Structures are given as structure tokens and as C-alpha cells.
Amino acid sequence: MSISRIYTGGCQCGAVRYRAEGTLGDPHLCHCRMCQKASGNYFMPLANAPRASFSITRGAPGWFRSSHLVRRGFCFLCGTPLFYDMPEADFINIVLGSLDDPYDVRPLTQSGVESRMPWFSHLPGLPGTETDDGSEPITERHIAILESNRQHPDYDTEHWPPED
């Protein structure tokens, strides 16, 4: 269960950052086909933040009106999905993967289950590896990626990207 606190987050490139204070309500996974398409994934993890205590702290998201009731916010530069917004509501839904601390909000329900992938129950049985677990040799490509990483860190910064 989420406790009242300050949540920060943003897109992969750091062009859009946000802040939400309070409790994030209704943390859930949405499996509906619209959320699948909007996220480019099998589901979209969402929770709502009170609009009165939510603010964009850097940049401005792009908006796509996915229906007459809903618009979806994203970063114009890197494409990260950020928000599911019903402008008339007193809350805005945050895409939980965009939080600086996504571990802090555990989904409690699922919606749109008619579109849930039928093989999800098999995921725990799949073999897995950690990122850069040492099972592959470090190549020049790996080093080049690490040295040129432009992903924004998981905390607020004065400016981004850093000076080259």
C-alpha cells in the first residue's frame, strides 16, 4: 500500500520531469488494447495522483487524445509514455515505470483483463538473467554504450543533459 509522500519521475531523456505529493491511488496494471498500444508493451502500470498536488517540473509533455475522454502524455524527444489523463478528473494517472523509485508503488489490481496475454502465468518459469550479469564478455560495443549513456538518472537534476 502506498503511503503519503513525494513522488518524482520523468522520461528516459530527462526533458520532462514531474512531481506528485500525497498518496498514489488505485495502483494497477491495465491490459486493455489501448494501453498496450500506447505503451508498446503487454500492459501499462498506472496509479493516480491528485491533480492539486501534481506538477510538471521540467519541460512539457506531448499529448495524444486517444479517445474523447482520455489524452496520453509522453516525451516529444524520447517517446517515453508518462501520463494517462482524463482532463475533467481531479487526478492524473502516472505511468509507474516513469517514477524515480518504481519499487515504491506495487499494483494492487488489474483492469482490461480480457486483453491480458494468456501466457503471463508462465513467466515465473522462464529462465532469466540480470542485466550485465557477467555471462557475456565485455565488448567495445558494451563500453561504448556505457560511456555514451544519455539516460537521465533516477533523481531530479539542475539541468540535463550534462555538458559534453
Checking DSSP bridges between strand 25-30 and strand 109-111, what pairing results, if any? parallel
Instruction: Say what the pLDDT of residue 161 is.
Output: 74
128 C-beta neighbours (distance < 10 Å), count: 8
Q: What is the mean pLDDT of residues 14-23?
A: 96
Distance CA 43, CA 12 (A): 19
Instruction: Say what the pLDDT of residue 32 is.
Output: 93
Bridge partners (DSSP) of residue 56 are 18
Instruction: Say what the pLDDT of residue 78 is.
Output: 95
Whose grid coordinates read 565488448? 139
Q: Kindly report whether the global pTM for this prediction surpasses the value 0.95.
A: no
Q: Is the pLDDT of residue 138 over 90?
A: no
* DSSP assigned state of 52: G
Instruction: Say what the pLDDT of residue 140 is.
Output: 80
**Mean pLDDT for the chain?**
90
The answer to whether residues 44 and 33 touch, using CB atoms and an 8 Å cutoff, is no
* DSSP assigned state of 150: -
Distance CA 114, CA 36 (A): 12
Q: What is the mean pLDDT of residues 44-70?
A: 96
- For residue 38, the surrounding DSSP H or E stretch is helix 33-39
Q: Which of 44, 27, 46 is nearest to 36 (CA)?
A: 44
Q: Is the pLDDT of residue 37 over 60?
A: yes
- Cα of 19 vs its chain's centroid, Å: 13
Q: Which residue has the higher pLDDT, 92 or 135?
A: 92
Q: What is the mean pLDDT of residues 30-49?
A: 95
DSSP 75-119: -TTT--EEEEE-TTSSEEEEEGGGBSSGGG----EEE-GGGS-TT
